[in-house]
Amino acid sequence: MPYIIELKDISFSAQGNRIVHETSFQYEEEKTIALVGPSGCGKSTILKLSAGLIIPDEGEVLYKGKAISKMNRQENLTFRRESGFVFQDSALWANQNLYQMLELPLKLHFPGMQKKERDDRINQIASEVGYRKNLLVRPSQLSMGEQKLLAFARAIICRPKLLYLDEWTESLDERSSSRLIDIVKKMQSEGVSIILINHKVSIIRELSDKVAVILGGKISYIFSKEQLKSDTELKNLIEGDKET
């Protein structure tokens, strides 16, 4: 199975603190990998490094064998079009309304798309994630749960081949969470590669093919779904108890 993303001896520091330590990992194409570990272990940082959103101080991140840092403009645009990212805090653009926020990726990556087609795609995606209110409002007028729905909609609007999910069901009620999980399952069936962070044992067990355990800023253990024999064992990995 080919690798869609490879981490090669990456390290990253912020404000003088080493957050990620010389870690390497290969994400298999068309698989779903969960990053787990205790709070502060570097999960979100490794996810952002894997997505090319931050650049490692040392080492390389490769997409389909090509170093992201060495991509030319067209290669980088292709990588961005084929990737979608849901941030833990949603990270919606405060100076744009919801329609503009969803329209911008379509304008950037599909410049030949007609306005009616953009309108149809935006309305379809908003409805698909369960948002049926006014799209002409700013993110500040939304609840935290609604912001998460729109962040998810933005991540999938270009129909990515690779999806990064950082606590994407947080702040959602059970119905909305189930809706997004169903969308993720559909994307899995279509061959989308997914890298996720979630603190819920049930979601990780339901969606993941493998679990990568991060301890002290390094991917230290890899478990297949079959190797995790109990929810208690997985809960211990999420909380940082490696003695399982």
Using alpha carbons, list the distances in angstroms from residue 155 to 62, 83, 183, 207: 20, 8, 12, 18
pLDDT-based confidence at 61, cuts 50/70/90?
very high
pLDDT-based confidence at 235, cuts 50/70/90?
confident
The answer to whether the CB of 22 falls within 8 A of the CB of 30 is: no
Q: What is the mean pLDDT of the chain?
A: 93
For residues 91 and 113, give the distance between their C-alpha atoms in angstroms, rounded to a whole number: 26
For residues 179 and 163, give the distance between their C-alpha atoms in angstroms, rounded to a whole number: 16
Percentage of the chain with pLDDT > 70? 97
The amino acid present at 60, given as its one-letter code, is E
What digits encode the pLDDT tens for the residues 155-209? Answer: 999 999 999 999 999 989 999 999 999 999 999 999 999 999 998 989 999 999 9
Q: Does residue 228 register a pLDDT over 90?
A: no
The answer to whether the CB of 23 falls within 8 A of the CB of 53 is: no
Percentage of the chain with pLDDT > 90? 82
For residues 60 and 57, give the distance between their C-alpha atoms in angstroms, rounded to a whole number: 9
What digits encode the pLDDT tens for the residues 91-112? Answer: 999 999 999 999 999 999 999 9
The answer to whether the CB of 157 falls within 8 A of the CB of 129 is: no
Strands 32-36 and 83-86: unpaired
DSSP string covering 115-181: HHHHHHHHHHHHHHHT--S-SSS-GGGS-HHHHHHHHHHHHHTT--SEEEEESTTTT--HHHHHHHH
The amino acid present at 12, given as its one-letter code, is F
Query: Which whole number is the average pLDDT over 32-46?
Result: 92
Residue with the bigger pLDDT between 243 and 50: it is 50
Question: Residues with Cβ < 8 Å from 109, sequence gap 6 or more?
Answer: 77, 80, 81, 158
Beta-carbon neighbour count of residue 115 at 10 Å?
A: 10
CA 242 remoteness from chain centre: 25
The answer to whether the CB of 151 falls within 8 A of the CB of 91 is: yes
Phi and psi, residue 23, nearest 5°: -105, 145
pLDDT-based confidence at 9, cuts 50/70/90?
very high
Q: Which two tokens stand for residue 14?
A: 């912020």
Query: Which whole number is the average pLDDT over 61-67?
Result: 96
Q: Does residue 116 register a pLDDT over 70?
A: yes
Give the predicted TM-score (pTM) of the model: 0.93
Q: Does residue 242 register a pLDDT over 60?
A: no
Using alpha carbons, list the distances in angstroms from residue 186 to 51, 120, 210: 22, 20, 18
Class (C level, CATH) for 3-239: alpha beta
| pLDDT the model gives residue 244 | 41
Q: Does residue 238 register a pLDDT over 90?
A: no
What digits encode the pLDDT tens for the residues 199-216? Answer: 898 999 999 999 999 988
